[in-house]
Structure 1
Amino acid sequence: MKRLKEAAQARRNRRCGLGSVAALCAMLAAPQAHAVDVDAGDYTALPAGTNLLMGYYQYATRDAAYVRGHKQAGDPRLDSHIGILRGVHFTEIGGFIVDPQFLLPFGQLKGKDDLSAAGSASGVGDLILAATVWLVNRPETGTYFGITPFLYVPTGKYDNDDALNIGENRWKFALQAGFITKLTDKVTLDLAGDVMVYGKNDKYGPARETMKQKASMQFQGYLRYHLSDAWDLRLGVSHTIGGETEVAGVDQGDRQRLTKVSVGTGWFIAPDLQLLASYGRDVSVRSGLREDDRLNLRVLKVF
């Protein structure tokens, strides 16, 4: 009887594994699928009239699939090369600093090894509109607190017959709060948390089924050590939970519980030009593909 139960459970895990990997290829591999990642320092309020132009490059490799915390057999691999163009304008409204902004992702996804049949996808992703409102703005003490709504507009390239897509064919909304404070003259703490809600994708997969997703939450923290006023070293951790999907009314059992870490540096090579680089990886994955390497690069221009 025990062996029969184990065999039945193994069959259920295999079915769940196949469903999770397929769902991951179609959804979670998109450049902004289930997280509102921040860089340390993002919640610093700047004077009204300041403009920022940023360019990002993000390279990530994924080398293992997990179902309910169990690593699956095989050698799935998914690589991504994603760029993001971001523009930010700081203004003052009703006595508060506000920064309306846009983010436009673009790039390529490519399945390899066991996921090579998924092929590749390239193009422009879903446009992101956002605006932070700073409720606390104390540059003299290095303390800031802001709230940011994010709206993800389904403008990206999407084909329901493709296993991989840059766009998601659905609206999304996230609300994030961010806090920065100096612990000492040399150490700064950055904290952020968000909740994301998802619209439905009514053209999911070749059968054009309806895919729904429950809300997810993410919590992020960074410590920055300032080597000088222009150069810092940073250590970060992020934890994401929730986000279980449902396809054609069937629960996929893919609730997220993901923890990742990163190390990096930020350097103002000139008063109006910053370079940022960080390296990270997933250290705990409940469902989906594990990122074994992630390199983030960013150039920021102030004008």
Structure 2
Amino acid sequence: MYLYRVLALALLLLPSICLAVDLQPNDIVAPLPGKSHAMFSYLNTGSGTFYKNGSAISSKPFVSPDINTQSAIARISTSYSIMDLPGISYLQIPYGSIKPTGSLAEYSATTGFGDLTFATAVWPYADREKRRYFGIAGYLTAPTGSYNSQQVFNVSENRYKTDIQMGYQQPIIENLDGMIAVDTMWFGGNSQCAAACFSTNNTSLNQKILTTTQLGPIYKINQTYTLGASYFYVASGATTIGNTYQNNVVNTQRLLLSALAHYPFGRISLQYGRDMEIKNGFIETRRLIVRYTTEF
């Protein structure tokens, strides 16, 4: 029973580790008003060894866990001005799959639409000449995706999420900029957590706030190519099942490398990263993201 409870904690932490709002290089740069863009993304992640309070667990069912996720994500955005301040809003919806293999192969894979996200950002400070920007963004995710309480894995979390993010970017030297962003995420409750909480009946799942800090350099090679690297520190986010606190604080460090290319037909970006250190949950061994953005 103890191992199944540990597995429940692991499964609940699996989405939490990926909940931070990752920024691409120059996402903190204020957009020009009156522009509309469509962005299409492909996300592929793999997660392996499970950690509990900083120690790797190798007993069954954690002998050789392997969780693979794939998502196709569509986003539509439009930029504007609010009282002369730059602003942008977007709608985003994913369609993806989660496939457990290895020692978790007994659990069913799942495929379907994920949860819809709406975001708006404004820039109280934007100096294009000096390349200094400070932006504030708000995000709302609604439980609109595919969810079945009798399945351990789901592409939807069946709960509302809100996030407030602040970011700042400025030059360091010549074509090298530095960025830092901090966000805090709040979670609504999931009152239909059964299989993922290893309960025969629906029970409640609640999660404490999750905070993320990301920072790193952005190097503009020329007008076409840009490189970036980001370090992430994700903290807090412990869960409660029913009235029982699970003692599964998220404490994760990860690295993400980015390469962007701006062409006349649109922007292509490649990102690759992985967890560097993790306290609780399945460690993410790879994160591959390919994006294409075009103006319309």
Give the TM-score band, short-chain normalised.
over 0.9
Instruction: Show the 5 A alignment for 1:65-214.
Output: 65-73=50-58, 74-205=63-194, 206-214=200-208
Equivalent residues of 2:13, 2:280 under 8 A apart: no
1:175 touches 1:195 (CA, 8 Å); kept in 2?
yes
Q: Please name the residue that 1:5 is paired with.
A: none
Query: Which residue matches 1:57?
Result: 42
For 1:281, the equivalent position in structure 2 comes to 274
Distance across 1 between alignment mates of 2:153 and 2:125:
41
Cα offset for 1:225? Answer: 1.6
Question: Counterpart of 1:90 in 2: which secondary structure?
Answer: strand
Q: Which 5+ residue runs of structure 1 have no aligned equivalent?
A: 1-13
Aligned length: 287
Q: Decide which moves more: 104-113 or 179-188.
A: 179-188
Change in Cα spacing, 1:156 to 1:23, as seen in structure 2 (3 Å) is farther
With the length of structure 2 as denominator, give the TM-score of the two structures: 0.93
- Deviation at residue 23 of structure 1 after TM alignment: 3.6
User: Structure 1 pair 140/99, CA: closer, same or farther in 2 (3 Å)?
Assistant: same
Q: Deviation at 1:35?
A: 1.7
State how far apart, in whole Å, the 2-side matches of 1:68 and 1:85 are: 36
Q: 1:35 aligns with which of 20, 23, 43?
A: 20
Amino acid at match of 1:69: G
Which one-letter code corresponds to 2:102 in the other structure?
A: D
Aligned match of 1:296:
289
What's the offset of the Cα at 1:33?
5.6
C-alpha deviation, 1:30, in angstroms:
4.2
1:45-102 Cα offsets, whole Å, 9 max, x none, are 1121011211111111111100011111011110000121111100111221111111
1:238 aligns with 2:232: yes
Contact 1:30/1:167 (8 A) holds in 2:
no
Q: Which runs of 5+ in 2 are unaligned?
A: 195-199
Q: What are the Cα deviations for residues 278-300 of structure 1, in whole angstroms up to 9, with x where unaligned?
A: 11010100000101111111111
| CA deviation after TM superposition for structure 1 residue 20, in Å | 4.0
Which secondary structure state, in structure 2, belongs to the residue aligned with residue 157 of structure 1?
coil
> Secondary structure of the residue that 1:19 maps to in structure 2?
helix
Say which SS state the counterpart of residue 223 (structure 2) adopts.
coil
CA contact (8 A) 2:25 2:258 kept: no
Residue 302 of structure 1 deviates from its aligned partner by 2.3
* Cα distance, 1:24 vs structure 2: 3.5
Q: Given residue 53 of structure 1, which amino acid in structure 2 is its aligned partner?
A: A
Structure 2 counterpart of 1:81, one-letter code: Q
Change (3 A) 1:20 1:194: farther
**Using the alignment, how far apart are the partners of 1:33 and 1:152 within structure 2?**
14
CA distance in structure 2 between the aligned counterparts of 1:20 and 1:277, rounded to whole angstroms: 35
Quote the residue 1:269 is aligned against: 263
**Rounded Cα–Cα distance in structure 2 between residues aligned with 1:88 and 1:178:** 19
Of 204, 207, 213, the residue aligned with 1:219 is: 213
Measured in 2, the distance between the counterparts of 1:247 and 1:33 equals 20
* Equivalent position amino acid for 1:279 in 2: Y
Runs of 4+ in 1 over 4 A off after TM superposition: 30-33
Map Cα deviations across residues 245-276 of structure 1 (whole Å, 9 max, x no partner): 00011111110000001222111022x51111
Aligned amino acid, residue 278 of structure 1: Q
Shift of 1:34: 2.6
Cα distance change, pair 293–96 in 1 and its aligned pair in 2 (3 A):
same
